[in-house]
């Protein structure tokens, strides 16, 4: 792939965003729409040109044919200088594997069960849509499920997807801890194969290990999945569901992802807590209270903030010579910049901690949040909150991330930052008690506030309102018609609903 700043068709490349065993993911900007995209390529050493082209095109077509907002969308595909690539939607958040690992490392607990059920509900709905479109994912696991505080859960990485109707033996590929026995044996796969992968994902997120610790246990038909004693009846229901999803024999396994999704939804609803649905309290025009955290929007000088941690709007080369970074360096000392640059350039969306020098803070968190009008504010903010918990920081001061040289709008920044904060607090266990957002102008504060309040509010359950449509006018209908609706009865029903 080309160096940063060069173009592939209408896409300007920023640089490498991540890499795995067989692929590389690059971040780029769609020059026409001014949005971030991901460009995925296969490592040249892993496949021949013909095989790489086949795999990339298969992934792009598999993703593109599924009419489902919970699937990471394929936007384009092609070959650049001999390298096949697929252009995908950028999801501004971190994957569930990373979120789970941070929480275990920082707080010593798993993700709450309501959130695991929410993730699996959305994942199963995505899988159902894929299955209805004739596509088997074959690699369902936490690292392929992405969570954006703004747009929700997305299922990605269809690199080894297969057609549901092929009925042919398949090459053995995937991640063994999440593979169904028939997949490991290279036998034909169907939608039940993905049901197993979803069940294994849920098991690992809750209990920290795969449901079957080794290949022998996975392939032995006499070894069944075991569970610890449930903490409450809802977990007993969760375990019963997973046992049905993790049957070794596909004929005995829960047959549809949609069915699993409905069960996960019921468990999530039963576990819906006061934390998840906590109301936002407005303590003033620019001060809010959410759970045990106070959020304030202030006009002032970020470098003068007296807090545990100051978040700097960093750039990928980690220099602090412009904007917020320059102000923090001048007051805190060049040592902050030297430490930030010690490990070289950083990918967009990362957050790097350093000392705070002469600032009135314990740490500076360098959030690499934007570049050339493309926003990674959500991902960078999530990591800033997780890093703050790891470092034991109870108060943070932020600028409006990315609204300087990166030219991200204040409104987009506000929505990304505040939805990330809402999610972080709703998961529980955080040490954060105070978040201050500091602006250099009153105009920015007003624009930020116009979005922040609604972004911090909890989603409300839909009201119990029945609306079957208004009486149509200028239509000649007959009472004896099979499709006639008695308007008088409808009006009486509406009156009854309103009186409840």
pLDDT in tens, 425-458: 999 999 999 999 999 999 999 999 999 999 999 7
Which structure tokens are listed for 122?
């959305």
Q: 104-113 pLDDT, tens per residue?
A: 998 888 999 9
Output the pLDDT for position 265: 96
Output the pLDDT for position 291: 92
Strands (E), 320-449: 351-355, 363-368, 370-371, 374-375, 395-398, 434-439
Output the pLDDT for position 462: 45
Q: How confident is the model at residue 400 (pLDDT cuts 50, 70, 90)?
A: very high
Q: Give the whole-number percent of the chain exceeding pLDDT 90.
A: 65
Helix runs in 48-155, H state only:
49-64, 96-107, 113-132
The 3-state DSSP class for residue 328 equals: helix
pTM over 0.75: yes
DSSP-assigned letter for residue 72: P
Q: 76-111 pLDDT, tens per residue?
A: 988 888 888 899 999 999 999 999 999 999 888 899
Q: For residues 122-154, b (16+ Cβ closer than 10 Å) or e, as one string?
A: bbbbbbbbbbbeebbbbbbbbbbbbbbbbbebb
Contacts of 20 (CB under 8 A, 6+ apart): none
Output the pLDDT for position 117: 96
- What are phi and psi for residue 338, nearest 5 degrees? -60, -45
Q: How far is CA 453 from the centre of its chain?
A: 21
Among 152-166, 241-255, 293-307, name the one with the lowest average pLDDT: 152-166
* Whether the predicted pLDDT of 468 surpasses 60: no
């Amino acid at each position: 792939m080309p160096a940063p700043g060069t173009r592939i068709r209408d896409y300007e490349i920023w640089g490498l965003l991540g890499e795995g065993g067989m692929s590389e993911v690059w971040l780029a900007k769609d020059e026409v729409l001014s949005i971030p995209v991901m460009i995925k390529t296969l490592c040249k050493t892993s496949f021949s040109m013909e095989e790489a082209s086949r795999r990339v095109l298969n992934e792009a077509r598999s993703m593109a044919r599924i009419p489902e907002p919970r699937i990471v969308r394929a936007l384009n595909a092609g070959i650049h200088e001999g390298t096949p690539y697929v252009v995908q939607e950028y999801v501004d958040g971190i994957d569930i594997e990373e979120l789970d690992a941070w929480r275990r490392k920082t707080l010593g607990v798993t993700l709450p069960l309501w959130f695991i059920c929410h993730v699996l509900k959305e994942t199963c709905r995505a899988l159902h849509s894929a299955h209805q479109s004739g596509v088997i994912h074959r690699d369902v696991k936490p690292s392929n499920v992405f969570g954006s505080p703004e747009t929700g859960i997305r299922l990605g990485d269809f690199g080894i997807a297969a057609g549901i109707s092929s009925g042919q033996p398949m090459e053995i590929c995937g991640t063994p801890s999440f593979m169904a026995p028939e997949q490991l044996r290279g036998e034909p796969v169907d939608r039940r194969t993905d049901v197993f992968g979803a069940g294994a994902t849920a098991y690992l997120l809750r209990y920290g290990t795969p449901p079957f610790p080794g290949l022998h246990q996975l392939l032995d038909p006499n070894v069944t999945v075991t569970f610890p004693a449930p903490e409450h009846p809802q977990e007993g229901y969760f375990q019963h569901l997973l046992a049905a999803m993790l049957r070794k024999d596909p004929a005995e396994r829960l047959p549809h992802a949609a069915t699993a999704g409905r069960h996960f939804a019921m468990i999530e609803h039963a576990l819906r807590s006061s934390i998840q649905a906590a109301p936002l309290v407005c303590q003033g025009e620019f001060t809010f209270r959410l759970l045990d955290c106070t959020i304030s929007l202030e006009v002032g000088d970020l470098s003068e903030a007296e807090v545990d941690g100051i978040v700097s709007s960093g750039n990928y080369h980690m220099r602090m010579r412009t904007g917020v970074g320059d102000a923090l360096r001048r007051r805190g000392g060049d040592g902050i910049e030297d430490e930030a640059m010690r490990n070289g350039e950083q990918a967009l969306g990362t957050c790097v901690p350093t000392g705070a020098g002469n600032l009135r803070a314990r740490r500076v968190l360098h959030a690499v949040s934007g570049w050339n009008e493309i926003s990674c504010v959500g991902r960078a903010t999530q990591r800033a909150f997780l890093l703050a918990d790891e470092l034991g920081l109870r108060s943070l001061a932020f600028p409006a991330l990315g609204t300087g040289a990166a030219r991200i709008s204040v409104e987009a920044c506000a929505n990304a930052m505040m939805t990330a904060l809402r999610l972080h607090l709703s998961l529980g266990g955080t040490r954060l008690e105070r978040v201050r957002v500091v602006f250099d102008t009153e105009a920015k504060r007003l624009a930020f506030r116009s979005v922040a309040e609604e972004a911090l509010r909890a989603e409300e359950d839909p009201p119990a309102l029945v609306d079957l449509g208004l009486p149509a006018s200028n239509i000649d209908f007959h009472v004896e018609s099979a499709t006639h609706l008695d308007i008088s009865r409808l009006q009486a029903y509406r009156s009854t609903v309103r009186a409840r």
